[in-house]
């Protein structure tokens, strides 16, 4: 999935990602930044992420320009 960081607190690691497609909000998993290029994220930063079994955003990563294009409407 792709989206934008809506909020992030670097002291607690709490944050929310807003998806591009339907503006759904997902809390960041406690391990969302583990193994990624990010040490922290900022509000408005574009990311690609997966959902863990609890429905939280995890495995945050950067995407290529192709990955980050605006979704098309069908």
Read off the pLDDT of residues 4-63 as tens digits, 9 standing for 90 and up. Answer: 999 999 899 899 999 989 999 999 999 998 887 788 889 999 999 999 999 999 999 986
42-51 per-position pLDDT tens digit: 999 999 999 9
CATH topology of domain 2-61: OB fold (Dihydrolipoamide Acetyltransferase, E2P) (2.40.50)
Q: Could you report how far apart the first and last alpha carbons of the chain are, in Å?
A: 18
Task: Calculate the alpha carbon distances from 61 to 31, 68, 73, 74 in Å.
Answer: 13, 11, 24, 27
Provide the pLDDT confidence category of residue 64 given band limits of 50, 70 and 90: low
- Position 56 scores a pLDDT of 97
The pLDDT assigned to 74 comes to: 47
Task: Tell whether the torsion through CA atoms of 45, 64, 31 and 40 is positive or negative.
Answer: negative
Query: Which sequence spans correspond to the domains of the chain?
Result: 2-61
Residue 67 has pLDDT above 90, yes or no: no
């Amino acid at each position: 999935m792709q989206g934008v960081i809506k909020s992030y607190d670097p002291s607690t690691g709490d944050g929310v990602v807003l998806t591009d497609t339907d503006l759904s909000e997902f809390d960041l998993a406690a391990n969302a930044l583990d193994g990624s290029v990010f040490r922290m994220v900022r509000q408005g930063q574009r990311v690609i992420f997966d959902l863990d079994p609890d429905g939280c955003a995890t495995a945050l990563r950067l995407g290529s320009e192709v990955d980050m294009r605006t979704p098309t409407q069908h």
